[in-house]
Amino acid sequence: MSAIDFRPRRALHPCTVSAIQDLAPGTRGVTLDVDAGSDFRFREGQYIRIVMPDGRRRDLSIASPDLGDARITLWLRHVGGDFSEYVFGTLGLGERWQFEGPLGDAWVRPHDPRPLLLITGGTGLGPARAIILGMRRSGVRRPIELIHGDANAQSLVPMEEVHAIAEEDPALTPLIALQQPEPHWSGATGTPDEVIADRHDDLSGHCAHLFGPPAMVDAVIPLLRARGVLREDIHADAFTPAALDLDTSAQGR
């Protein structure tokens, strides 16, 4: 007699790839239209779990605000694993995907007027973008400092939209830090934790949302704690490679 599997099953949302956009060398935007009749809604800052045809899963943050139109955009980096090889290789418009979600706790709590720190690396700007656009759409105004880190100007995800919003809205302060900047770079140099350490002695009363490489998240959280941010006001999604997490986790299937 076979054992009964009591693990909870999450609903799968079928969807269609409706747009593919090259955002920067090695970074693509993929837009998904969730099938009609789906009740899928999410909070900006959350992620979904793509279920590949062979059952493997890949977590991806939602880079667009919830407009109630069952359409989401993901920002993906080409890291050389199976999923990104497929997305940067044979993926075509009209392909059918399915995903679980929404997942994650890094969404912005409503009715909280405290200043926000959005700290991102690489494609981690995507969910921060979703948060900024979602807040603008719902008319919520809070001071936001966005600190975004990337390797160099070539790998940088598009920042024009964020800069345009900041020009109109002084509540948003974007800051880009490059680790290996080109000679003409006039912005900050270093990693997000170094930039925070330089700029801030006291961050008490702030809420922080972190999205990006695990090393960045690991470096920034203790610094925020040392600068007075409460543990419960720090919400982080580390972009742990699936090969090191979901693929090796029995619960991941």
End-to-end CA distance of the chain: 22
Chain residues 37-76 in contact with ligand FAD, contact rule CB under 6 A: 47, 58-61, 74-76
**52 CB contacts (<8 Å, ≥6 apart)?**
58, 83
Nearest-angstrom CA–CA distance, 128 and 44: 8
Nearer to ligand FAD, 12 or 226 (CB): 12
Paired strand residues for 234 = 208
* Of 20, 91, 153, 243, the one binding ligand FAD by CB under 6 A: 243
Minimum CB–partner distance for residue 223 and ligand FAD (Å): 21
Minimum CB–partner distance for residue 191 and ligand FAD (Å): 14
Q: Which residue sits closest to ligand FAD, CB atoms considered?
A: 81
Is 88 near ligand FAD (CB under 6 A)?
A: no
Minimum CB–partner distance for residue 126 and ligand FAD (Å): 5
Instruction: Please return the burial class of 226, using the count of CB atoms within 10 Å of its CB with bins 0-12, 13-18 and 19+.
Output: exposed
* Of 40, 42, 83, 97, the one binding ligand FAD by CB under 6 A: 83
Chain residues 157-176 in contact with ligand FAD, contact rule CB under 6 A: none
Size of the site for ligand FAD (CB under 6 A): 25
Is 99 near ligand FAD (CB under 6 A)?
A: no
What is 163-218 written as a DSSP string?
Answer: HHHHHH-TTEEEEEEESS--TT--SEES-HHHHHHHH-S--TT-EEEEEE-HHHHH
Is 143 near ligand FAD (CB under 6 A)?
A: no
Strand pairing category for 144-150 and 207-212: unpaired
Nearer to ligand FAD, 65 or 126 (CB): 126
Q: Which stretch binds ligand FAD (CB under 6 A): 1-9, 38-46, 78-86, 166-174?
A: 78-86
Nearest-angstrom CA–CA distance, 55 and 197: 42
Indicate the residue type of 223.
L
Q: Which residues bind ligand FAD (CB under 6 A)?
A: 47, 58-61, 74-77, 79-84, 123, 126, 213, 237, 239-244
